[in-house]
Structure 1
Amino acid sequence: MHGKAALITGAANGIGRALALQLASAGAAVTVADIDGAAAEKVAAEISSRGGRAIALPCDVSNSAQHLEAFRRHAQAWGRLDYALLNAGIGESGDLVWCKSPSAWQKTLDIDLRAVAEGVRLAARTMLTGSPEGRRSDSPGGERAAGAGTGPGGQHKPVIMITASAGGVFPMPVSPVYAASKAGCVQLTRSLAEPLARQGIRICALCPQFVDTALVRDIQKADAATAAELMRDTHSRLLSVDQVTQAGMALLTDPSKVGTCLVVLANGSWVEPQLARFKSVAKPASAAAAAVDPALRAWALAGDPGSASSALPASSTRVIEVHRLSTDFRAATRIVQRPLPAALPDGSVLLRRLYAGINASDVNYSAGRYFGSKAAAEKRLPFEAGFEAVGVVAAAAPGVVLPVGQPVATMTYGGFAEWAVVSAKHVFPLPQATPEMVALMTSGLTASIALDQAGLRKGQTVLVTAAAGGTGQLAVQLALLAGCRVVGTCSGGAKAELLRSLGCHRVISYREEDVKAVLKREYPKGVDVVYESVGGDMFDICVGALAPRGRLIIIGAMSQYAGGWEARQYPGIAEKLLWKSATLQGFFLLHYARDWGRHLNKLAGLVAAGKLHVQMDPRRFVGLESVADAVEHLQSGRSMGKVFVQIAAEVPAAAAARPAAIAAARARL
C-alpha cells in the first residue's frame, strides 16, 4: 500500500480506528474523518508517531456539505484516492412504531444508508477524476486520477468498502430500521459491483455480527433487555475489533472480491451469503389456470377415441420399453400398449407428451448400466426407456395446483411415452412447451450445474469437447456468459460454423487439425476448465492440456458407449494431476436433483431474454417409431445441436419448434 491513499469515515473509534492504523502501517496515507474532530486528531497523531502519514477532518456524514468537503480536502492533501472505507454508522434511533417524531428513526436511515450511498458517489468520482465534483471518466474530456483503473500485469484497482452488518443479511426484530439500512448497503454493494468494475473500481462490504465497540457497549449499558434480545442468536458473544479488521484487510487486498459481502460470524468464521437463491412456491389454482394457453388446454383434453368411458382423456398409452439388454437400442426395445388408471393417484398428474429428448446415454440405459449390475438390470426387465420429456397437463388429482394445459417437463424414466402418470412433485412447470425446453433438461442442466460446480471465474480458459452437441453448445454459451475464453472441439463443417456463430473464441476441428498440437501450441499455459464428454483418446488429450490447478469435469464418454464402454487404463494420470495440482471431477446429473428447479428457471430465463440460443438438430423425427432412428442418428456423430423426437403426430402451433431456427440449421447442413 506504499504510495496509496485512504479516506475512512467514522475513523476515530472501533473498527474505523483499527483499519486506519492498519492501512497506515502498510504504507498508505490516511484521512481520518469523524464527527468527533478531537478524537480524529488523536488517531492521526498516533499514526504520525508511528512514522505514518495522516490528516484528521471533522465530518458529519449526514451533512452533505461536510461530507463533500472531506473528500475535497482528502484529494487536495494526497492527490489520489485508492481506498474509501465508509465506516460511519449508528444503531437504532427511536422506535419505528411508537416514536412521536419520525425524525428519530429517520436519523438511522440518513447515516446508515443515505450517507453511505452519497459516500459511494463521492468516492467513485474522486477515484475516477481526482475530485468529488469531477466529471465522469467516460465523458468527453473526463480525466482519471493517478490511482484509478488498472493496467498491465494486474495493477491496483481502487476499492470502496462499506461497513455494513450481519443485520443486513439476518433479520433484527429489535432494530428493524438499522437492519433495513444495512440490507440496503448490502444490495447497494451487490448492485454496483458490475457497473463500478467496468470503470476500474472494486466495491465490497464488511458485515460483522456484534463487535466489542463503544457503540455496542453503550447499547448494553442503556438497555440490558434490548441488548440481550439483539444478541440472543450469538449467545451474547462479541467479536473483537481485531477479528473484524482482519476480515476488512482481506477484502481490501483480495482482487477477486468484487461485490462480495463478507459476513463475520460471532464465532469468528467468515461466510459469503448467496442472496439470489429462491424457493419455488405454487401459484393459486386461479392464477395458474389464467396463464394457460387455451390451445394447449384444448389439445391436452382432446384425448383418444377409446377413452370415452374413462374419467381421463386417455385410458391407455403406448410406451417404449427395454425388453433385453443391449447397446443396440433398436434391438433392445419395443413399443407396447399399457393401460392408464381410471382415476389418478393422490398427488399425481396425467401428462400428454409433446417431445422427448435423445441423449448419448440412452444406449447405456438400454444396456442396463444404471442399475448397479447387469444382474440387477435383468431383474428389472422390462423397463421403460427415455429420460426427459416436455408435454402438457391433461388432468390433475384433487389438490394438485397444476391446471390442464400447463406446459411441463419431466426428468423421470419412461420419457418415451405418449401419456404418463407422474407425481406432481417430479414435474417442472415451463413458460412454453417447445422443443427448445427439452434441450434445457438433461443437456442444459448438465451444462449449468457442472460448470457451476467447476467454479468458473471471469477470464478463465474453458475447453468444451463435442461442443456442437446437445450439451456442448449450451456449455459453450454459459462459459461465454461467465466471461471466459472458450475453446470448442467438433468435427468441422456446419458444426464449426455453429460454434463460431455462438461466439466460441477458437474452434478446433479434430478431422482437420491435431487437437493435442493446437492446444500445446496456442495454449502453452494450459486450460483452466475442461468440459469433457467424449472420452477415449480425447480424454487423454484434455488431461494433458490442463493448466496448473485446472479442473476437468467428466460429463461422459460418448465415444465408448456403443462399443460397450470398456474400462480404460490411464497410466501416469496420478502423477500428472499431482504435478499440476489439477482435479478430475465426475458429474452424474441424478446426484444434483435438488438443484434442477433452480437451474432450469435460470436457463429458461436466459432463453426468454435472448441470452441463450438453443440449437435443435434439424432432422425431424415424429412418433415413437422414430425414436430408434433418432438414437442412431445421435450415435453416428452426424447430429448438430439437441436431437429430439416429436412424440405426438400433430402438435398445436403454440408448442411447435421455432421454424427460423430449424431452417437456419438445415441451411448450414
Structure 2
Amino acid sequence: MELRPGLSALVTGGASGIGRALVLALAQKGVFVTVVDFSQDKGEQVASLAEKEVSKFHSRLEFAPALFIKCDVTDSNELTAAFENHVKTYGGLDICINCAGIATPVPFYQDKTDGAKSWRRAVDVNFVAVIDSTRLAIRAMQEAKRPAVIINVGSASGLYPMYPDPIYSGSKGGVVLFTRSLAPYKRQGIRINVLCPEVNFSSGRYFGGGNKDISSLLPFDAGFEGVGIIAAIGDSVKHLKVGTPAAIMTFGSYAEFTTYQGEQGWKPRAYTGLCEKILAKSQTVAGFFLVQYAHLWQQHLDKLVDLYSSGKLKVAVDPKPFLGIRSVADAVDYLHSGKSVGKVVVCIDPTFGHHPAKL
C-alpha cells in the first residue's frame, strides 16, 4: 500500500516504543491516526505531535486529524469502542497496527500468584488482544470494501526461544503463526503481515538494570546494537553512502574485541565472554541454542584449537581468490556451484573504492 494523505490508521500501543514511532511516521505522510493506549499522558502527547504533522497536509478539517483513545486492549468492550470511534471519525479503516505488548515482571515459575497481573496478563496483552484487534480490523475493512493492511507486531523471540521470558516468547510465537494463518484474506484485499523486530532504538532496548546504569557502560547510547561501516551498496539503494557508520540491529552478534568501559577508559580488550557470544550465534534453524551446553562446547573448542596448533587438524580453504567486497556475490555463486571445498574466503582489498555491490 502506498501511504498517502487521507488514509487512516489505528495503532494499539501507540504511546511509546515502536508504536509511537509508527504513529509519527504515518502522521508525517498525512495519514489520520488513532492512538490506542492505556497511558493517558503519553498517548495525548503523541496524538498532539501527530496532529501537528497531519495538519500540514490538510486544512479546514471538520474532525481531529489525530485521536487518542485510552483503552485497555484486554477489555473487549473498550477495544470495540475504540474501533467504532475511529471508523465513525474517519469513515473507515485502511491500516491497523497491533503494537501493544508487555513483558512479565517475574519469571512465571517464580510467580506465587494466579498470574492475573503477571504472566496471564502478558498473554492477554501480547496475544489475545492481538486476535481481538485483528478481528475488529477485518470487520471494519470488509465493510469498507477497499484495500487495507493489518500489521501485527511480533518479535524475534516469537521466532526463536527467549529463555529469560518464555511467556513473552510464547505469546509472540502465537502472534506469528496466527498472523501467517490469515494469509487467505489477501484475496479480499486485506493484507495481514507480522513484523518481528529484534533489538531496536526504543525504551525497551535494555534487557536489565536502569537505562542510566546500562547506558553509562556504553561509549554511546546504542542499546545492544552492533556498529559497522558501510562497505558497499546496491544500485537500488539511494539513501546510504559507502564509508558512513551504520547501526546493525543484530542480537547475538560477536567480534574478536568488544569495547567496554574499564578503569583506563575506553580501550579495546579481548572480551572474556567471546565463547558465550559465539554460542548465542550457534542457534540452528529449529531455534535451538547450544548455550545450555556452554561448558562442554568450550572444552571441545579447546581440543580443536590444540589439534590445529599441533598440526593434527588440517583446515582446507579453497585456493580460488576472491578480492574485494565486489567479489562477494561471485564467491557465493562459486560456493553454491559445488566446485569449492566447502569454504571460500573473500580478501578485502585495501585499495577498495566506492564501488556498488554486485547484488
Residue pair 1:186, 1:205 contacting (<8 A) in 2 also: yes
Residues 220 and 199 of structure 1, relative CA distance in 2, 3 Å threshold: farther
RMSD: 3.3
Aligned to 1:208: 197
1:220 match: secondary structure: coil
1:215 match: secondary structure: coil
Residue pair 1:90, 1:215 contacting (<8 A) in 2 also: no
Q: Select which of 162, 167, 171 maps to 1:181.
A: 171
Residue pair 2:99, 2:152 contacting (<8 A) in 1 also: yes
| Equivalences, count | 220
1:94 Cα deviation after fit: 3.0
Q: Select which of 120, 127, 131 maps to 1:113.
A: 127
Residue pair 1:91, 1:215 contacting (<8 A) in 2 also: no
1:44 match: secondary structure: helix
Counting only pairs closer than 5 Å after superposition, residues 448-463 of structure 1 correspond to structure 2 as none
Counting only pairs closer than 5 Å after superposition, residues 111-510 of structure 1 correspond to structure 2 as 111-129=125-143, 145=144, 148-149=145-146, 157-194=147-184, 196-217=185-206, 219-221=208-210, 237-238=224-225, 265-266=250-251
Aligned to 1:321: none
Are 1:90 and 2:132 an aligned pair?
Answer: no
2:163 match: secondary structure: coil
1:214 match: secondary structure: coil
Unaligned regions of 5+ residues in structure 2, if any? 56-64, 228-248, 254-284, 287-336, 339-359
1:50 match: secondary structure: helix
Q: Higher RCO, 1 or 2 (CA under 8 Å, sep at least 6)?
A: 2
1:17 Cα deviation after fit: 1.1
1:215 Cα deviation after fit: 3.3
Aligned to 1:383: none
Letter in 1 for 2:197: P
Give me the whole-angstrom Cα distance separating, in 1, the residues matched to 2:180 and 2:110.
33
Q: Select which of 47, 58, 64 maps to 1:44.
A: 47
CA-to-aligned-CA distance 1:104-130 (integer Å, 9 cap, x gap): 21111010011111111011111112x
Normalising by structure 2, we get a TM-score of: 0.55
1:57 match: secondary structure: strand
CA-to-aligned-CA distance 1:118-173 (integer Å, 9 cap, x gap): 111011111112xxxxxxxxxxxxxxx1xx33xxxxxxx21100111100011111
Residues 206 and 31 of structure 1, relative CA distance in 2, 3 Å threshold: same
1:219 Cα deviation after fit: 4.4
Deviates more, 1:58-67 or 1:211-220: 211-220
Residues 199 and 93 of structure 1, relative CA distance in 2, 3 Å threshold: farther
CA-to-aligned-CA distance 1:232-277 (integer Å, 9 cap, x gap): xxx961499xxxxxxxxxxxxxxxxxxxxxxx63499xxxxxxxx8
Residue pair 2:32, 2:54 contacting (<8 A) in 1 also: no
Letter in 2 for 1:33: V
Give me the whole-angstrom Cα distance separating, in 2, the residues matched to 1:41 and 1:182.
27
Give me the whole-angstrom Cα distance separating, in 2, the residues matched to 1:178 and 1:50.
34
2:109 match: secondary structure: coil
1:27 Cα deviation after fit: 1.6
Residues 46 and 33 of structure 1, relative CA distance in 2, 3 Å threshold: same
CA-to-aligned-CA distance 1:313-332 (integer Å, 9 cap, x gap): xxxxxxxxxxxxxxxxxxxx
Residue pair 2:29, 2:54 contacting (<8 A) in 1 also: no
1:197 Cα deviation after fit: 1.1
1:92 Cα deviation after fit: 2.2
Are 1:102 and 2:114 an aligned pair?
Answer: yes
1:217 Cα deviation after fit: 4.1
Give me the whole-angstrom Cα distance separating, in 2, the residues matched to 1:80 and 1:56.
17
Counting only pairs closer than 5 Å after superposition, residues 494-643 of structure 1 correspond to structure 2 as none
Deviates more, 1:51-60 or 1:210-219: 210-219
Normalising by structure 1, we get a TM-score of: 0.30
Residues 51 and 4 of structure 1, relative CA distance in 2, 3 Å threshold: closer
Give me the whole-angstrom Cα distance separating, in 2, the residues matched to 1:111 and 1:15.
16
Letter in 2 for 1:73: N
Residue pair 1:93, 1:108 contacting (<8 A) in 2 also: no
Letter in 1 for 2:19: G
Are 1:12 and 2:15 an aligned pair?
Answer: yes
Identity value in percent: 35
